[in-house]
Chains A and B, each alone.
Chain A
Amino acid sequence: MGEGLVEGIPRRRGSRHAVTTDPPKRAPSPEPMPPELTTTAVPATGWLHRYAHPGRFLRLGATVQPWLSAAGLILTLAGLGWGLFIAPADWQQGDAVRIMYVHVPAAWLASAAYLALAACGFASLVWRHPLADLAAVEIGPVGAGVTALCLASGSLWGRPMWGAWWVWDARLTSVLVLFFLFLGHVVLVRSFDDPARGARSAAILALVGVLDLPIIKFSVQWWNTLHQPDSITLTAAPAMSLSMLWPLLVTALGFSFGFAAIVVARVRAAILEQRVRVAMQRRARMAER
């Protein structure tokens, strides 16, 4: 604490958060910002930055949000209903296999969410992108929730099938580490007075933590684990009846759309909240004069 932090504030504020925290003399404007007001201080390095700019993101987000939400809701409900009521019971697990339709999509999504978090960390460190920082802050808690669902549903599955709520094998431990990585990111990104320092530290954590993803993926092949190997791989036919595979894929698609919808909504809200803060500060300054 102390000196390093104080030293960090003025240096970073100027360069990094110019776009989101500090629109200097911008006239109050309704939500879809006129383009000439939103393009200030955006590094012009390609299409990614064009769409990753907060003002553009607000408009793009408002367009895709209803579609993402609808797709997420419909596919998730269809997939879970299919899994719960229509899909057959398993030959050895009976009806307990239905937990798979929650557990496996949650597990896939947890890894994908962490990958997204790490991508945001990369964009933040390399391009100093303000939207990447915002997105990382919002992906963290959602990813932690999805990982928690994966762990909890796995526990509920393990108890009746394996005979244990929890075992310390490589697969379960590495997913628990993923959960702690999400939690660590959530806490770290919010624990600095200067948001830029928090974003930077959290981005480094997110990138280092990517090492856990291959460990999760290959743990069931590299080591003896109680957890069974993956049924669905990119290299072989799934060791699963198609009558169970379809609802699983539909649910996984639904979870992904739902996750995207939630993250887009949270990032939009975060951008708007930032604008509110800026407007309040400006109003306070005007009141002082």
Chain B
Amino acid sequence: MIGCCGAGLSAALGLSLWALSGNIVYFMAPSQLLATHPSPKQVVRLGGMVEAGSVRTAEGLSGPEASFRVTDGQADVAVHYDGILPGLFREGQSVVALGSLGQDGRFTASEVLAKHDQTYMPREVADALRRSGKWDPRFGPAPDPASWDRMTAASAETRAGTGSGG
């Protein structure tokens, strides 16, 4: 019994120590990656925003291929990925790619995860904001919530309707 709880405690402690040591920074931004410049053998995680207009997808011999640029506003890194992109992947979305930085400065990813932001809104509201020109999701986060959090799907529809009519 005591051994059991000792094991549980040390598991918890070990996990936290391990988390605090190596993995606490889950990913590196492009500028950090270029500054540290890990060796091509080292597997690292790259995180940042998918640059608008940079996504190229193709059907390769072994399945879908994608290349895109990941930016943090200061630097950007070209990423190549053979595989199926997650459903949330889009331009302007934050992603985390697991892979290595080659000699040529290109990042080859073996896994791409989408990191969605903390903004929650109905589709119609997002469309209304886009149509009104207040927000383009490809270029950055949503505007101040106070300007849209009271909009419902229905009110966004009517607002968009009157907007285009007038």
Contact = CB atoms under 8 A, between A and B. Distances in A.
Contact of A238 (B5, B116, B127, B145): B145
Which of B23, B116, B146, B153: most chain A CB closer than 10 A? B116
Contacts of B123: 88-91, 94
Contact of B23 (A89, A163, A173): A173
Nearest to B1: A191
Contacts of B15: 173, 176-177, 180
B146 to A, nearest CB: 5
Interface string B5-28: 100110110011001000111111
Interface stretch (A50-58, A228-236, A249-257): A228-236
Contact of B25 (A97, A205, A224, A243): A224
Contact of B5 (A91, A187, A231): A187
B149 A242 contact: yes
A92 interface: yes
Interface in B93-123: 93, 96, 111-123
B149 A161 contact: no
Contact of A191 (B2, B96, B116): B2
A262 B7 CA distance: 29
A93 B145 CA distance: 18
A94 B90 CA distance: 14
B154 to A, nearest CB: 9
B124 interface: yes
Interface stretch (A11-19, A164-172, A279-287): A164-172
B60 interface: no
A229 B142 CA distance: 14
What is the size category of the interface that chain B forms with chain A? 35 or more
A63 interface: no
B81 to A, nearest CB: 11
A181 interface: yes
Interface hub of A187, A239, A244 (most chain B Cβ within 10 A):
A239
B86 A239 contact: no
A224 B47 contact: yes
Most chain A C-beta atoms within 10 Å of own C-beta, residue among B12, B28, B149: B12
A183 to B, nearest CB: 6
A182 B11 CA distance: 13
B158 to A, nearest CB: 15
Contacts of B4: 187, 191
B87 A88 contact: no
A85 interface: no
B56 interface: no
Interface string B29-50: 1000000000000000001000
A230 B117 CA distance: 9
B125 interface: yes
Contacts of A187: 1, 4-5, 8
B47 A240 contact: no
A149 interface: no
B5 A162 contact: no
A241 B150 CA distance: 6
A3 to B, nearest CB: 15
A237 interface: yes
B12 A89 contact: no
B26 A241 contact: no
B150 A242 contact: yes
Contacts of B137: 92
A179 B106 CA distance: 40
A184 interface: yes
Interface of A: 1, 88-94, 97, 100, 160-164, 167-170, 173-174, 176-177, 180-181, 183-184, 187-188, 190-191, 205, 212, 215, 223-226, 228-231, 237-245
Given A164-B113, A205-B9, 10 more contacts: A91-B121, A91-B125, A92-B126, A93-B116, A93-B120, A162-B86, A184-B5, A188-B5, A239-B118, A243-B153
22 contacts: A1-B2, A88-B122, A88-B123, A92-B88, A92-B126, A92-B137, A93-B88, A162-B114, A170-B24, A174-B16, A180-B12, A184-B8, A190-B1, A191-B1, A237-B145, A237-B146, A238-B149, A240-B145, A240-B149, A241-B152, A244-B122, A245-B149
